[in-house]
Amino acid sequence: MKLKEIDKGRYRRHLNKVFIGSALALAVLSLGIAQLLIAFFPNAAGSHFHWNLLGVVFGALLVGAGLSRLRQHPFMTEVVYVWELKQRLNKIARKRRKVEAAAEQGNETAMQVLQFCYAGSRQLWQLDDNTIVMDELTVKQTELNNLADTHGVILDAGVYDENMLKQF
């Protein structure tokens, strides 16, 4: 995955619409499916918990399938990009200790992975207005830059490939 610039305003507008649309669709589908199940299979005791739960499960599956089909639509470009970026950063986070240890030993691949992680995190936090931890990220980036200078590595977030994580 390559980092790319996206319009923050467009991303926020589209994310809000996708979120609100998904929530409304889930509510309508859950209630509709549950009511149909209750109508076809009434319970004399009056407990319809399992039908309501099944309505929510089926509603969630339908909303998920709908989002999956709409994934390639131009409206979803920014939203899907951020979802995928979050997935990549989570994969790196799971191996972060090993990656950081390897970077300290001078492993160039580890340094490139951390560069992507820091650049991606910075972009993600700016898009979500989560700037509270930016100072901490700046310190980590400075440490990585110093480490790269020490080992003669030129950092470039663009060289990151998910396969790089396999060695850690």
* C-alpha closest to that of 6 among 102, 113, 92, 85: 85
Q: Yes or no: say if 109 and 167 are a contact pair by the CB < 8 Å rule.
A: yes
Distance, CA of 139 to chain centre: 24
Residue with tokens 């396999």: 166
The runs of H, that is alpha helices, within the chain are: 8-40, 49-70, 77-94, 96-104, 108-127, 134-151
Q: Does 34 have pLDDT greater than 90?
A: yes
pLDDT at residue 29 in the model: 97
* pLDDT: which is higher, 80 or 1: 80
DSSP symbol at 155: P
92-130 pLDDT, tens digit each: 999 999 999 999 999 999 999 999 999 999 999 999 888
Span between the terminal Cα atoms of the chain, in Å: 18
Q: How confident is the model at residue 1 (pLDDT cuts 50, 70, 90)?
A: confident
Q: Does 46 have pLDDT greater than 80?
A: no
pLDDT at residue 120 in the model: 96
The predicted model scores a pTM of 0.83
